[in-house]
Amino acid sequence: MHDIALKLAFIGAAGIAAQWIAWRTHLPAIVLLLAAGFVAGPLTDFINPVRDFGDVYRPVVSLAVAIILFEGGLTLNFREIRETSMGVRRLIYFAGPLVWATTALAAHYVGGLSWPTAAVLGAILVVTGPTVIMPMLRHAQLASRPASLLRWEAIVNDALGALFAVIAFETYMVTSGHHEAGNLLLSIVFAAVVAVGGGYLLGRFIAYTFTRGHVPEYLKVPVLFAVVISGFALTNVILEEAGLLTVTVMGITLANSRMASLGDLRRFKEAMTVLLVSSLFILLTAALDMDVIRQLGWQAFAFVVMVMFVIRPVIIGLVTIGAGLSWKERLLVGWIAPRGIVAVAVSGLFGAALTANGVADGPVMVAYAFAVVTATILAHAFTLTPLARLLDLRSTARPGVLIVGGSRFTTNLAVRLQDDGVPVLITDREYDRLREARLREIPTWFGEVLSEEAHHRLDVSRFSTVIAATADDAYNTLVCTDFGPEVGRDRVFQIGDGRPRPDSQTMNFTLGGRPLTRDPEQAYFDLRALIDRGYVFTSTTLTDEFTYEQYQESRPDKTILLLWITQGGDLVFRSTTRENNPAPGHKLISFGPPPRDAETRRREHEEWRNGKDGETSDERETRDTVPLEKQPSDPPKPNLP
């Protein structure tokens, strides 16, 4: 028992460690997970899932795959595929069956597998792994249309590939005399109806009960898990692995329903999926038989080459003719098809089933599937970003800044960022507030940034930072709270209203974002008044000769250092770091008086102060402490937003 607990702890710790290392090093997480599983399993025999976990191993793997596919379905909203609906339909209706047939032929004639094994393997390799595609798309910052195609194909074809494998396996069982043909046809038709119809009805049932308040908030996630697992298991009673289609349809149904709690549910499911994917990849890789791996020869290599370089590109190129895609998009989609956790899990299940029913090369199918999975992950994970850059199919050169609230301050900030190569977008609910930004050729979006339309049109994944800079402090807090889980709570910033508040009116510390400047009292009208006084945004690059200390000495008084851009293109905000200072090569963006006019402005201001009749030094000191927007010498312009 202690050994099992230790191995489970190792699987969880190694999986999350691989995900963290991948985040720090920008390496594909799946590559590290495969390496960890291979070391723990075939190389050292520390973990043998079949031996260690016994009969519960395969059911647990099936349930985990079902949860992963359901979470993937939750990300598929029909509004996202308005531009790619024809392409998605062709990838599902035509490309899937063609890949099945041609891969089966290649597995038999090139790979040397028997017909039953080749047919099942061809069906399994229809899938293109959402658990692999999603991280790759985030890292590559792919344009919305090819990204949508790859995402939809990966999630829908995962369920269809498993269903194709069921059909191929059951066909073998009929031809070998294990099952009757009439029962097979009836089971397939009935299971398809139950899977699609049942998934839709379960999704509508969840949406109805949740929106009508029949389930309390603290029970929504447990109820959702119970319904997903139950729907998967009940459909599998009718036809093995058909439950994967049920949970996928259920997820898509919920994704297209109007549920207020859907965002919270999706975030929780995403966290669960990361844990499940990490653990499953290690488990399934550890289950590989070293003797089977040693048997792989030139036939397995030739089969992998056929799958990657011939079958996929040719079929995708053919079925997407006239689908409204450019040749660049067709080329990229034809190349990118990494197989993932579903291919590995389903191959393991059917490999054992084929072996139990007298097919000698059933275990070899698992090794072939792993060879394709490993080759496609390595090849596609490391080539997607360079290929997307070469074909000019990246959404932006690097993650940008989303600024909520149009004003002279935000427009000038956007101009400075854009001139320094940082993509930027300003949004506002009032059309007139975007007038100056449009005149200065800053990208804008008119509408409510918290709306569902904005979620689909803006593609938040293009932005690494959100700045809420409207005159409404409560709205800024709401924007940062909403975007925090998606962008990162340390990457959402806001400006306040500058008014001291009693404890009874202070918002909870869990709400809102970080202050944009080091002075949290620096309010919207303060910043606008500084713009009226002639304050400007400037950028300065530090060098070995011009250090940060020299930069500080050269700046006029009252200069506000907002952020700096590292040599790698990352944005570091001064308000988030207390100890670290910018280094040579970093570009500093500050807000203050023009450096070349600082001395002149100081002298003129002093002369003006000395020239006030009857004003003592104490009176001048008292006047200088009055907030900027209340000083009679600097009234806000009436035509400003």
Neighbours of 356 (CB within 10 A): 9
Three-class SS state of 281 = helix
How far is C-alpha 301 from the geometric centre of its chain's CA atoms? Answer: 33
| Cα–Cα distance, 229 to 595 (Å, whole number) | 65
In-domain check, residue 35: yes
Neighbours of 551 (CB within 10 A): 18
Grade residue 593 by pLDDT with cuts at 50, 70 and 90.
Answer: confident
In-domain check, residue 634: no
Q: Which residues contact 517 (CB under 8 A, 6 or more apart)?
A: 495, 560, 562, 574, 575
Using the 3D structure, point to which of 372, 390, 408 is the last residue of a domain: 390
| 382 in the same domain as 430 | no
Residue 374 in tokens = 């490993």
The string of pLDDT tens digits covering residues 492-506 is 999 875 555 555 555
Annotate 449-462 with DSSP letters as a single string. Answer: TTSHHHHHHH-GGG
Query: Strands 463-468 and 444-446: what pairing?
Result: unpaired
**Number of folded domains that form the chain:** 2
| Average pLDDT value for residue range 376-402 | 82
Q: At what angle do helices 181-211 and 217-238 cross, to 10 degrees?
A: 170
pLDDT of 188 over the 60 cut: yes
| Cα–Cα distance, 517 to 469 (Å, whole number) | 12
Residue 284 in tokens = 């399934």
The string of pLDDT tens digits covering residues 4-60 is 888 889 988 998 898 888 877 777 777 788 888 888 888 888 888 878 888 788 788
| 123 in the same domain as 97 | yes
In-domain check, residue 476: yes
Neighbours of 594 (CB within 10 A): 13
pLDDT of residue 314: 94
Please tell me the chain's helix, strand, coil percentages from 3-state DSSP, rounded to the nearest 5.
65, 10, 25
How far is C-alpha 32 from the geometric centre of its chain's CA atoms? Answer: 19
In-domain check, residue 538: no
Tell me the one-letter amino acid at 635: P
Output the domain CATH number for residue 523: 3.40.50.720
Grade residue 486 by pLDDT with cuts at 50, 70 and 90.
Answer: confident
| Cα–Cα distance, 343 to 157 (Å, whole number) | 11
Closest by CA to 518, choosing from 496, 487, 549, is 496
| 300 in the same domain as 178 | yes
What percent of the chain clears pLDDT 70, i.e. is strictly above it? 81
The string of pLDDT tens digits covering residues 105-120 is 999 999 999 999 999 9
Where are the alpha helices (H) located in 362-459, listed in sequence order? 362-390, 408-419, 435-439, 452-458
| Average pLDDT value for residue range 455-471 | 80
- Determine which of 75-89, 444-458, 464-478 has the lowest per-residue pLDDT on average: 75-89
| Average pLDDT value for residue range 171-185 | 70
> Mean pLDDT highest for which of 253-262, 330-339, 395-404?
330-339
Burial class (CB in 10 A: 0-12, 13-18, 19+), 123: buried
Using the 3D structure, point to which of 390, 419, 453 is the last residue of a domain: 390
In-domain check, residue 156: yes
In-domain check, residue 589: no
| 404 in the same domain as 381 | no
| Average pLDDT value for residue range 324-347 | 85
| 156 in the same domain as 283 | yes
Higher-scoring residue by pLDDT: 262, 440: 440
Q: Which residue range is the domain that position 129 belongs to?
A: 2-390
| 309 in the same domain as 240 | yes
Tell me the one-letter amino acid at 323: A
| Cα–Cα distance, 369 to 364 (Å, whole number) | 9
| 424 in the same domain as 371 | no
pLDDT of 406 over the 80 cut: yes
| 406 in the same domain as 365 | no
| 407 in the same domain as 379 | no
pLDDT of 596 over the 60 cut: no
| Cα–Cα distance, 197 to 423 (Å, whole number) | 44
End-to-end CA distance of the chain: 68
Under a CB-based contact definition with an 8 Å cutoff, are residues 268 and 17 in contact?
no
| 123 in the same domain as 23 | yes
| Average pLDDT value for residue range 214-229 | 86
In-domain check, residue 478: yes
| Average pLDDT value for residue range 570-598 | 81
pLDDT of residue 613: 45
Output the domain CATH number for residue 134: 1.20.1530.20
Residue with tokens 């056929």: 306
Query: Strands 492-494 and 463-468: what pairing?
Result: parallel
| 361 in the same domain as 458 | no
Grade residue 318 by pLDDT with cuts at 50, 70 and 90.
Answer: very high
Grade residue 183 by pLDDT with cuts at 50, 70 and 90.
Answer: low
Residue 89 in tokens = 């339909």
Strands (E) across 376-470 are located at 400-404, 424-428, 444-446, 463-468
Taking the CA atoms of residue 427, residue 433, residue 437 and residue 442 in that order, the dihedral angle to the nearest 10 degrees is 10
Residue with tokens 């200065």: 440
- CA contacts within 13 A on the Cβ side of 539: 19
Query: Strands 587-592 and 560-565: what pairing?
Result: antiparallel
pLDDT of residue 630: 39
Using the 3D structure, point to which of 573, 602, 629 is the last residue of a domain: 573
pLDDT of 160 over the 50 cut: yes
In-domain check, residue 7: yes
Q: Which residues contact 403 (CB under 8 A, 6 or more apart)?
A: 410, 413, 414, 424, 425, 426, 427, 466, 467, 469
Backbone angles phi, psi at 274, to 5 degrees: -60, -45
Where are the alpha helices (H) located in 130-180, listed in sequence order? 130-140, 144-175
pLDDT of 95 over the 50 cut: yes
Q: What is the 3-state secondary structure (H, E, C) of 181-219?
A: HHHHHHHHHHHHHHHHHHHHHHHHHHHHHHHCCCCCHHH
| Average pLDDT value for residue range 265-281 | 75
| Average pLDDT value for residue range 68-72 | 78
| Cα–Cα distance, 25 to 43 (Å, whole number) | 25
Higher-scoring residue by pLDDT: 143, 262: 143
- Is the whole model's pTM more than 0.75, yes or no? no
Three-class SS state of 470 = coil
Grade residue 426 by pLDDT with cuts at 50, 70 and 90.
Answer: very high
pLDDT of 267 over the 50 cut: yes
| 180 in the same domain as 143 | yes
Structural Rg of the chain based on CA atoms: 30
| Beta partners for residue 561, in sequence order | 590
pLDDT of 283 over the 60 cut: yes
Three-class SS state of 523 = strand
Closest by CA to 132, choosing from 206, 250, 22, 230, is 22
Q: Which residues contact 626 (CB under 8 A, 6 or more apart)?
A: none
Grade residue 640 by pLDDT with cuts at 50, 70 and 90.
Answer: very low
pLDDT of 612 over the 60 cut: no
